[in-house]
Amino acid sequence: MILLLSLALSQEDVLTHLADAGVEEVVLTPREGMDDSWDYLGRVDEGLCTGKISRREWKDEVTIMMSDCVPTGGELAGKLKEATQGTKNLAEHCDAGLAESCRQLGTRLIQGNNVEKDIPLAMEVLTAGCEGGDAQACTALGVVHRDETGEEAKAGEFYLKGCLGGDAPACPEAGLMAPDLATAAKAFTAGCDAGDQKSCANLGICYVNGKGVPRNRARGVELLTTACEAEIGFACEALRSL
């Protein structure tokens, strides 16, 4: 289904137009780097649909496209046991390709929160979330591999993917689990650049010792000092030992 709408495109207008088209329970996500454009997820008679909403200025119109519909109560929902309706809704959203919902569903399956605990299914939906671009889903998958399956190498891979994908709190663990010093420094750098002070402290130690990065004592002390001031205990200990 394609709807051509007037150029007015406030979020309120979009929701109104979608409601008029029979789309309910809409989730709008701004499209990165594109003004007045969204991805959306909504419920229609056929089930859940995803699509894109964008302004076509050269034609003085707005296009809403509905695509990728999945039946209500899709494949994932049928695999859940003792699930609340909210958890079933997450399964439907994950089926429809919403990566964040896959991560949220995976977390519930790991914890047995509002659904029966199911680690294999959690890994399945977290993988979908990770592949769909949700960095925290990648990190969560790393946690499962570390804590549930004992696959340290796999855990490190997913921690690193989460870290480099933008989940800064994953970076200290990603660095510590890295297969080599250069990769560890890369993880610590990514985390530090994003403001994670544990990552900065670890990166400072790397610079002081020339591990994975060229030795730069001044830069290392600077990073350790900032981390110590942020009350990262091992950074303060490292400074005292210099």
Domain boundary assignment for the chain: 2-70
The model's pLDDT over 63-90, given as tens digits with 9 standing for 90+, comes to 445 444 444 445 777 888 989 888 888 8
pLDDT(199) > 60 = yes
Q: What pLDDT, on a 0 to 100 scale, did the predictor assign at position 235?
A: 97
The answer to whether residue 23 scores a pLDDT higher than 50 is yes
Nearest to 3 by CA among 51, 71, 57, 70: 51
CA distance linking residue 134 with residue 98, whole number of Å: 9
Does pTM top 0.85 for this prediction?
no
Q: What pLDDT is recorded for position 68? A: 44
Please tell me the number of Cα atoms within 13 Å of 72 on its side-chain side: 9
- Using one digit for the tens of pLDDT, what is the confidence trace for 123-146? 999 999 999 899 999 999 999 999
Res. 35: pLDDT tops 80: no
Q: What is the mean pLDDT of residues 105-117?
A: 94
Q: How high is the pLDDT of residue 145? A: 95
Q: Band of the pLDDT at 179, cuts 50, 70, 90?
A: very high
Of the pLDDT bands very low, low, confident and very high (cuts 50, 70, 90), residue 55 is very low
